[in-house]
Structure formats: C-alpha cells, structure tokens
Amino acid sequence: MKRNFISILDWTTEEIRENLSLAHELKTLFQQRQNPPLLDQRSYALIFHKNSLRTRVAFEVGIFQLGGHAIHLTEHDFTLGKRETVHDVAKVMSRLVDGILIRTFDHKIVVELGEHAEVPVVNMLTDWSHPCQIMADVLTVQEKLGTVEGKKIVYLGDGNNVAHSWINLAARLPIRLCIATSKDSLPDMDLFRKAQEIGVSELSISHDPLEAVREADVIYTDVWASMGQKDLAGVKADQLQAFQLNQRLMDNAKPTTLVMHCLPAERGREITDAVLDGSQSVVLDQAENRLHAQKAILVQLDRWSRQT
Ligand code: CP
Ligand code: NVA
C-alpha cells in the first residue's frame, strides 16, 4: 500500500525504529562498497521551491547508488497550484514516477499532494517541518551514544520546522526534549501539548539556556531565521541572542554532550565558530547520515508500495 513520509507522525514507533535499523544496514553495506539495487528502475521527482545542498545531494546520490533515477525540478520547470492544480500534478506525476519528493513553503501543499498522489510523497522540508533531517540526526545520536531513547535533547533557539520535527519525534520515541527559547520564538504549542499528551516522552520549555543545557546529552541548534523569513533576521536576533550556542553554554553542559546543527549555520549568530568546529560537534556526521537515512526512507516507502 502506498504510504507517505510527510511528517514523523505518519509512521509508528516500530516503523521508525525499523527504518533506523535499515539506514544503519544500508550505511554498513555502503562502507563495504556494496549498494544493493533496491530502487532499480525507479524514478523520483525532486521538487525544490527553496535552496538545498545536503537534502538534494543526499537524495540524488542515494537514489543513484540504489539503481534509481532522480529528476530535479524547480519553479522554472512548473509552478505547483498555478499552471495546474496540486491535484492534477499529483495524478500526472503518479503515472510517470515512483515517488514525489518536495521542498516548499506551505506544508498544506505537501499534505494535499500526499492525499492525491498514488505514489509516495516525501517532505524534504516545509515551513512547518523537516522530518528527513531528524531521521538522519537520530541515526547520528544512535551511532555516538548507542541510542537516542532516554537521552536529554536540548533544542536551543527558534521554534521552527526543525524544532517541530523533534517534537514529533518525541511523540514516537521516548526522549527528554527541552526546547530552550525566548517567549516570542516558541514552537507550535498545540503540537507541543499534543506530544506531551501522547506521553511517550518528557517535553519541557525553558527560557533559561544555562539551566536547560545542564546534563544535556545533545544540544541542537538551527538558524534563527529560516528560509522564507530572512527579512526577520534582525528581529529574531534580538529575541534569541541569549540562546546563542557558545562556550559559556558548553561550560554548563557535560564534556560528552554532542553539539548538533542541521546546517547551513550562520556562524557567529546562533552558534560560535569554536563550538561548531569544536571536538563535541557532530555536524558533519549529521550531514553524512542524510545519505543513509534518506536511502532507507525511500526503500521503506518502495517496499510498502509493492505490498497489497
Ligand atoms: N539541513 C538541510 O536540509 O540542508 P539543505 O538545506 O542544504 O538541504
Ligand atoms: N530551519 C531551516 C532549516 C534549513 C535546513 C530553514 O528552514 O531554513
């Protein structure tokens, strides 16, 4: 049956755990120079309405390694919802490709695409969430700390799409998630409360960054102004300056605390050079794991598509 990966919430706890195992397996095979042709003869449309380095390269390389083919499409090729409806694009694409991957602004468009498409739809980032990123990040935490489960994850900074995907993960895997941010940069609090009600994880909000990072296993940050909000950069910087990930905060954490950032970073703003490039930083491992996590997502969706 066709399934989507538009939000972490689309998959169950067990499916997420199994997918992380598959990602680990594919990474091990890759390191042995083995790339099973699991996506042989499959074609994927990759639609980008925003910039991308990691997501695009990881998907294109991953699809190639597994024997498939990727088509890169931007608004120079077609305008979704303008030249034709989202419904029509979904139906046409479903006759031509084996999956539709999209990075755009409005999350609702991706949901609509997912409802109408007869092939899997993958969210490569919207203003609301970034689920592929979090799968790679969890794989990275597993490699470094053995497991993400039970770990204290402090998300520092803007309550944005990446923060939302951490909150969604907390609704599926048991973690201790603290969102450390200012009162005017909170994440979607309905989403946050729903994740609390699900009761899988401990979720908290802190406005005291020094206190929040104490005993953290992971400190995670992201840009303060996301794509599409760059005109708010000055306002966000005023709101979040106390939440910069710098040496002062690191001195309040553990010597083993991992520093994570999805990248691209605005060096000197949400994170200092010394911390981003420091010995506790695993940001390049996160970027590398995009390849393996995203391969696993496509393989899993393809397997489901072929099951009745
Ligand atoms: N982290 C991430 O998604 O990077 P890109 O925007 O470069 O794809
Ligand atoms: N929050 C950032 C993530 C980039 C990968 C953005 O949306 O721009």
pLDDT digits (tens, 9 = 90+) for 252-305: 999 999 999 999 999 999 999 999 999 999 999 999 999 999 999 999 999 999
Atom from ligand 1 closest to the CA of residue 55: 8
Tell me if domain 8-130+290-305 and domain 133-286 are identical in fold.
Answer: yes
Helices (H), 241-282: 247-252, 273-276
pLDDT score at 63:
98
pLDDT score at 124:
99
Close Cβ partners of 171 (under 8 Å, ≥ 6 residues apart): 8, 9, 194, 195, 198, 200, 201
Q: Is 161 in the pocket of ligand 2 (CB under 6 A)?
A: yes
Q: Is 262 in the pocket of ligand 1 (CB under 6 A)?
A: yes
Q: Which ligand is nearest to the CA of 123?
A: 1
Residue reference for tokens 């042995």? 32
Give the residue whose CA is nearest to atom 2 of ligand 2.
226
pLDDT score at 81:
85
Q: pLDDT of 37-94, one tens digit each? A: 999 999 999 999 999 999 999 999 999 999 999 999 999 998 888 889 999 999 999 9
pLDDT score at 223:
98
pLDDT score at 283:
99
Tokens of 219: 């400190």
Close Cβ partners of 225 (under 8 Å, ≥ 6 residues apart): 158, 231, 232, 233, 236, 237
Atom from ligand 1 closest to the CA of residue 132: 3
Nearest of 206, 269, 272 to residue 238 by alpha carbon: 269
Q: Which ligand is nearest to the CA of 57?
A: 1
Active-site entry in 65, 133, 142, 286:
133
Nearest of 303, 289, 298, 263 to residue 64 by alpha carbon: 298
- Tally of CA atoms within 13 A in the half-sphere of 288 that contains its CB: 12
Q: How remote is the CA of residue 294 from the centroid of ligand 1, in Å?
A: 12
Mean pLDDT for the stretch of residues 161-177: 99
Fold of 133-286: Rossmann fold (3.40.50)
| 262 assigned to active site | yes
pLDDT score at 5:
99
Mean pLDDT for the stretch of residues 8-26: 98
Q: Domain limits of the chain?
A: 8-130+290-305, 133-286
The distance in angstroms from the start CA to the end CA of the chain is: 5
Maximum CA extent, the chain? 55
Give the residue whose CA is nearest to atom 6 of ligand 2.
226
| 42 assigned to active site | no
Neighbours of 308 (CB within 10 A): 3
pLDDT score at 82:
85
Neighbours of 125 (CB within 10 A): 27
Q: Which ligand is nearest to the CA of 158?
A: 2
Which residues on neighbouring strands pair with residue 220, listed in sequence order?
A: 155, 260
Q: pLDDT of 186-239, one tens digit each? A: 999 999 999 999 999 999 999 999 999 999 999 999 999 999 999 999 999 999
Q: How many whole angstroms separate alpha carbon 278 and alpha carbon 256? A: 12
Tokens of 284: 């390049």
Nearest of 135, 140, 195, 147 to residue 167 by alpha carbon: 195
Q: How far is CA 90 from the centre of its chain?
A: 23
Does residue 47 contact residue 73 with C-beta atoms inside 8 Å? yes
CATH 3.30.110.40 fits 8-130+290-305, yes or no: no
Distances (CA, A) of 292 to 16, 35, 243: 14, 11, 31
| 133 assigned to active site | yes
Q: Is 263 in the pocket of ligand 1 (CB under 6 A)?
A: yes
Q: pLDDT of 122-131, one tens digit each? A: 999 999 999 9
pLDDT score at 139:
99
| 103 assigned to active site | yes
pLDDT score at 308:
78
Close Cβ partners of 87 (under 8 Å, ≥ 6 residues apart): 112, 116
Does residue 216 contact residue 152 with C-beta atoms inside 8 Å? yes
pLDDT score at 3:
98
Residue reference for tokens 């996301």? 226
pTM: 0.98
Active-site entry in 49, 103, 176, 261:
103
| 290 assigned to active site | yes
